[in-house]
Structure 1
Amino acid sequence: MNIEQITQPFTDIFPGDISNNPMQRNTPKVLFSTVKPAGFDGPKLIAFNQTLSEEIGLGSYKEKDLDFLVGNNLPDNVKTYATAYAGHQFGNWAGQLGDGRAILAGEITNKEGKRTEIQWKGAGATPYSRHADGRAVLRSSVREYLMSEAMHHLGVPTTRALSLAFTGEDVVRDIMYNGNPQLEKGAVVIRTAESFLRFGHFELMSAQQEYTTLQDLLDFTIENYYPEITTDGIQKYKDFFSTICIRTADLMTEWFRVGFVHGVMNTDNMSVLGLTIDYGPYSMMDEYDLNFTPNTTDLPGRRYAFGQQGQISQWNLWQLANALHPIIKDEKFLENTLNHYGTYFWEAHDKMLCRKFGFDELRDTDEEFFTNWQGLMQELQLDYTLFFNQLEQLQPESDIKALFENVSYVILTDQRIKKLEDFAKTYQERVSTNRISKEESLSLMKQSNPKFTLRNYLLYECIEEISNGKAEMLQKLTHALENPYEELYPEYSVKRPSAYDDTTGCSTLSCSS
């Protein structure tokens, strides 16, 4: 790989702690601290994303590159560092946080001039590890590697994954935080993004009243990642905030489209580029439930439940607005922009649902249709992905029970079948008013509704296989997630087996996941 081309433009601009000290501590008035990866004696490659490597400009993998993939024996041009940020966690101000188990190598530029940041996750402690070890276990690393790539191929803005490797050491983790720590296999994943800048980076500088650095960070972000913003002065920062709001709303809409639940939408887990970032206790939707949260830490309040993600993203944007206020200094603008956020998001959300149902456009009567559909989905515990796959096959003469009985997590009684039949009739009446052909309607559905989503039980099984030295399921899942709008493996396009209903690390997850 072409790692000799990696550069550090971020650290060349902003104030940092260059003591190379991984011990946990506060680092006021700086945005980064230099820190070296821990180094591992017995690494072993599990997976390498050759396509991504070529795309970002690193080139082909060679056996000698394994050292770089786990942070060993780095060349002189790679100056590693971790960034400091703050954030609101579960609605409460948490103060200084930072890259607790993420270490940045820098960025690389490909032939087309596209810049990509490269970051290890699980390569050792940083000043921001908060008394933790900075390591990552196999299960969380596999989950991030596969799910970030799955989201990319679904068409959802996201960070991506370059490699996955065993470190050769064991790590102690208490997966459910219940006093039962166990040894687990350690791993490192390399993830990439145009930038890993978060709301929390801006919150930290604002909270510390480092307004000059805050403005410098704004200028850096706009210049490097928002080329569409060409205004000057305060208007430049207003346009930046408005664009973040739009990108965030569009991201939430995409999460709803594919049935993704992030599980821990703290402000430090929100990207200023509108990317899905930090794959922890996430889940793809099985049975439809607006109140579903995969994160046991989020119980009983369900702050980050599936149906709350639009509102929470707006709340998080309020916190970003507060952080930027010392620079923008226009409360009315910020309030108006945020008040408009809900209108924009729900219109985008409903237009997205129109595409999932094959409707030609959003009409006034569709809101009632969507509300009734949501109630039906929850009452009958219908599988979100499989429901739309079956709906694509609906014909006037269809046997409703036969069409939907394998996508419900409850027994379809005669009363429930009647409700499905009534829904099918209403749906077909609405489709019949389309101003587009049936073929165009079906095409909209097929483009919007994946055939394959990476469910937690599949990840659980894959992690178990990798732990036992097997790679067949990893290869099949990778192939499936790269082609999510095709049904390449029918055995993966089924409901979650009941055996996994209450399995720790599958149906129940924690922030340790």
Structure 2
Amino acid sequence: MQQLSDKVYKSEFVDTFGGDNSGDLNPRQTPGVLYSKALPTPVEKPELLAWSDDLAKELGVQKPTDQKDIDILGGNAVTDTMRPYAACYAGHQFGNWAGQLGDGRAITLGEWEAPNGQSWELQLKGAGPTPYSRRADGRAVLRSSVREYLMSEAMHYLGIPTTRALSLVSTGDPVLRDMFYNGNAAYEPGAIVMRVAPSLLRFGNFELLAARKELENLKKLTDWTIARYYPHIQGEGDERILAWFKEIVDKTAALMVEWLRVGFVHGVMNTDNMSILGLTIDYGPYSFVDNYDLNFTPNTTDLPGRRYAFGKQPSIAYWNLSRLAMAIAPLLQGTEELVKIHAGFDDAFTKQYMEMMGNKLGLDQVKAEDVALFAQLEKMLATVQPDMTIFYQLLIDLPLEAETEAEMAAHFEPSLYNKLSKEESQQLSEVIKAYQERIKANTCSREESQKKMRQANPRFILRNYLLSQAIEQLEQGNNDLFEKLQEAIKEPYSNKYEEFFAKRPEWATNKAGCSMLSCSS
């Protein structure tokens, strides 16, 4: 285990590509470069609030024992071998081209090589202004930092590809934020998260270079990305680039399936928030769905169009992939094969989605006739809108003998937010009866089926109202709930934390921060 302050950091991205090394933090356009030097701005009083022991062990990082390492996590110090920078990228935001964006409140300190040889980028989020902060201050508040720290780790333990979070530090500085962009700005406690990933490259890195017609930089970035993060891809020229794009399509499709499996809604699926490695990246106004609503968006900025609603995420991923395809198209001799690979997203998604649904329902295998059952189930869920997490848990222990309509409604009552109408009760009963018959046709045992279901369906999810309560308590100096959630996220498939196995309470339905949030952080 090594201390943050003693490590010799790598800087392969900075060494490979041209950057603006002036250190000027004034907002500006930076054509011709992929990053700008950006030193973190010191804060008043950095204090370590949380530390991910499991991630630290994987990285080989020793937990800070003195202030010098906490100063690094809080942006008050950098080591001699760190070369801090903010990346330059662009993106489509809510479907519209936004031009140059870049790391407005994130500064990558350097690349940490773990004991197994894996290289990880260490990035501070909320460490002060960069040339890409535009009109903002480059800071983050405790509210958003707690949400990023806990959820990125929660997604990891759910088994979903994601960036990770190593630490959460309070800064001692107040930060002015208008939480809902409604003119009611207020000061909130400041904080900084150190997030960790093999790479934080996004679709937008490639979009910017293509838009600026910097084809030499675009080719160099593409070749470097393939060689570094997809080294198994062989060949040359078009063959190599197309094979790489296909892997991104497949990884992105797989990620969408995983989000749907646990009911996760990202909230801001702009192309600058899409990882080139198929990771969940940039945790803002995200949420898990409570009641099963395909039209639910947790982002107030996404209203009224609900572009990034729960059920629309796969189609948005497909659209975002088309933007990446357009960005790399100038590197190819022709685009016919590129278009075919992009169109293959639907098949890749459907295949993985069907397999996922089979696991959630405990089927021995997915047969052609099961597609109709899936559609019938999803239609019922969208109509009745039970609590998604609790419904699937109740399904695991469903008796297989025939039950009356009333008995079935009673079995699933703990997942219901509203009293069922006669039509809804009948619809639920019909679906469950069809499911019971299908389970009876399994070639595997009931125990094997239930085991598969328990592995596919989380019992604990990090609900927004729990996060809101933990944040409120932290702001008052009480970390009890935060500490309990930090432990609960590590065992989402167990019944160890039954106190959290409950529907969203009525008081949280419309409370700020418990149902919807803005992009403000």
**How high is the TM-score relative to the length of structure 1?**
0.98
- What is the CA–CA distance in structure 1 between the aligned matches of 2:82 and 2:204, rounded to whole Å? 25
| Aligned residues of 2:51 and 2:63 also touching (Cα < 8 A) | no
1:427 to 435, 441, 452: 435
| Aligned residues of 1:116 and 1:193 also touching (Cα < 8 A) | yes
Pairing 1:458-497 to 2, within 5 Å after superposition: 458-497=466-505
What secondary structure is seen at the aligned counterpart in 1 of 2:344?
helix
- What is the CA–CA distance in structure 2 between the aligned matches of 1:336 and 1:243, rounded to whole Å? 13
1:245 to 235, 249, 253: 249
Task: Quote the residue 2:15 is aligned against.
Answer: 12
Task: Quote the residue 1:388 is aligned against.
Answer: 392
Give structure 1 stretches of 5+ with no counterpart: none
- What is the CA–CA distance in structure 1 between the aligned matches of 2:19 and 2:293, rounded to whole Å? 45
One-letter code of the match for 2:474?
Answer: I
Task: Quote the residue 2:417 is aligned against.
Answer: 409
Pairing 1:79-118 to 2, within 5 Å after superposition: 79-118=83-122
Task: Quote the residue 2:350 is aligned against.
Answer: 346
Q: 1:285, CA displacement in angstroms?
A: 1.1
Task: Quote the residue 1:55 is aligned against.
Answer: 58
- What is the CA–CA distance in structure 1 between the aligned matches of 2:484 and 2:420, rounded to whole Å? 32
- What is the CA–CA distance in structure 1 between the aligned matches of 2:409 and 2:499, rounded to whole Å? 21
Pairing 1:240-389 to 2, within 5 Å after superposition: 240-389=244-393
Q: 1:415, CA displacement in angstroms?
A: 4.7
CA deviation map 1:37-78 (0-9, x unaligned): 111121121101122112113233222211011111222111
One-letter code of the match for 1:78?
Answer: M
Q: 1:413, CA displacement in angstroms?
A: 4.6
- What is the CA–CA distance in structure 2 between the aligned matches of 1:166 and 1:479, rounded to whole Å? 20
Q: 1:95, CA displacement in angstroms?
A: 0.4
Name the stretch that deviates more: 96-105 or 397-406. 397-406
| Aligned residues of 1:101 and 1:135 also touching (Cα < 8 A) | yes
CA deviation map 1:207-226 (0-9, x unaligned): 11111111111111111111
- What is the CA–CA distance in structure 2 between the aligned matches of 1:150 and 1:328, rounded to whole Å? 39
**How high is the TM-score relative to the length of structure 2?**
0.96
- What is the CA–CA distance in structure 2 between the aligned matches of 1:383 and 1:27, rounded to whole Å? 47
- What is the CA–CA distance in structure 2 between the aligned matches of 1:110 and 1:134, rounded to whole Å? 29
What secondary structure is seen at the aligned counterpart in 2 of 1:5?
coil
What secondary structure is seen at the aligned counterpart in 2 of 1:213?
helix
Q: 1:369, CA displacement in angstroms?
A: 1.4
Task: Quote the residue 2:82 is aligned against.
Answer: 78
Task: Quote the residue 1:141 is aligned against.
Answer: 145
Give structure 2 stretches of 5+ with no counterpart: none
CA deviation map 1:431-462 (0-9, x unaligned): 11222222221111011001100010010001
- What is the CA–CA distance in structure 2 between the aligned matches of 1:507 and 1:467, rounded to whole Å? 20
- What is the CA–CA distance in structure 1 between the aligned matches of 2:351 and 2:58, rounded to whole Å? 34
| Aligned residues of 2:148 and 2:284 also touching (Cα < 8 A) | yes
Task: Quote the residue 1:503 is aligned against.
Answer: 511
One-letter code of the match for 1:470?
Answer: N
| Aligned residues of 2:93 and 2:270 also touching (Cα < 8 A) | yes
Task: Quote the residue 2:234 is aligned against.
Answer: 230
| Aligned residues of 1:283 and 1:455 also touching (Cα < 8 A) | yes
One-letter code of the match for 1:313?
Answer: A
One-letter code of the match for 1:190?
Answer: M
Task: Quote the residue 2:447 is aligned against.
Answer: 439
Pairing 1:31-42 to 2, within 5 Å after superposition: 31-42=34-45
| Aligned residues of 1:160 and 1:191 also touching (Cα < 8 A) | yes
CA deviation map 1:147-187 (0-9, x unaligned): 00000000000000000011101011001001110111110
What secondary structure is seen at the aligned counterpart in 2 of 1:141?
helix
- What is the CA–CA distance in structure 2 between the aligned matches of 1:135 and 1:2, rounded to whole Å? 22
- What is the CA–CA distance in structure 2 between the aligned matches of 1:250 and 1:15, rounded to whole Å? 33
| Aligned residues of 1:117 and 1:194 also touching (Cα < 8 A) | yes
- What is the CA–CA distance in structure 2 between the aligned matches of 1:234 and 1:59, rounded to whole Å? 44
Does 2:207 correspond to 1:199?
no
Does 2:130 correspond to 1:122?
no
| Aligned residues of 1:405 and 1:412 also touching (Cα < 8 A) | no
| Aligned residues of 2:206 and 2:328 also touching (Cα < 8 A) | yes
- What is the CA–CA distance in structure 2 between the aligned matches of 1:93 and 1:2, rounded to whole Å? 39
What secondary structure is seen at the aligned counterpart in 2 of 1:229?
coil
- What is the CA–CA distance in structure 1 between the aligned matches of 2:63 and 2:183, rounded to whole Å? 44
What secondary structure is seen at the aligned counterpart in 1 of 2:168?
strand
What secondary structure is seen at the aligned counterpart in 2 of 1:116?
strand
Name the stretch that deviates more: 42-51 or 114-123. 42-51
- What is the CA–CA distance in structure 2 between the aligned matches of 1:341 and 1:97, rounded to whole Å? 27
- What is the CA–CA distance in structure 1 between the aligned matches of 2:33 and 2:364, rounded to whole Å? 51
Does 2:213 correspond to 1:209?
yes
- What is the CA–CA distance in structure 2 between the aligned matches of 1:417 and 1:505, rounded to whole Å? 32
Q: 1:506, CA displacement in angstroms?
A: 1.6
Aligned structure 1 segments of 4 or more residues deviating by more than 6 angstroms = none
- What is the CA–CA distance in structure 1 between the aligned matches of 2:427 and 2:312, rounded to whole Å? 27
| Aligned residues of 2:297 and 2:516 also touching (Cα < 8 A) | no
- What is the CA–CA distance in structure 1 between the aligned matches of 2:129 and 2:495, rounded to whole Å? 42
Task: Quote the residue 1:176 is aligned against.
Answer: 180
| Aligned residues of 1:57 and 1:108 also touching (Cα < 8 A) | no
- What is the CA–CA distance in structure 1 between the aligned matches of 2:98 and 2:313, rounded to whole Å? 20
| Aligned residues of 1:54 and 1:60 also touching (Cα < 8 A) | no
One-letter code of the match for 2:160?
Answer: V
Name the stretch that deviates more: 405-414 or 279-288. 405-414
- What is the CA–CA distance in structure 1 between the aligned matches of 2:446 and 2:15, rounded to whole Å? 56
Identity of aligned residues (%): 49
Q: 1:414, CA displacement in angstroms?
A: 5.1
- What is the CA–CA distance in structure 2 between the aligned matches of 1:490 and 1:330, rounded to whole Å? 56
- What is the CA–CA distance in structure 2 between the aligned matches of 1:99 and 1:253, rounded to whole Å? 28
Change (3 A) 1:234 1:418: closer
How many residues align? The count is 513
Q: 1:245, CA displacement in angstroms?
A: 0.4
| Aligned residues of 1:251 and 1:275 also touching (Cα < 8 A) | yes
- What is the CA–CA distance in structure 2 between the aligned matches of 1:484 and 1:279, rounded to whole Å? 19
Task: Quote the residue 1:21 is aligned against.
Answer: 24
What secondary structure is seen at the aligned counterpart in 2 of 1:16?
coil
Q: 1:343, CA displacement in angstroms?
A: 1.7
- What is the CA–CA distance in structure 2 between the aligned matches of 1:416 and 1:95, rounded to whole Å? 47
- What is the CA–CA distance in structure 1 between the aligned matches of 2:339 and 2:176, rounded to whole Å? 46
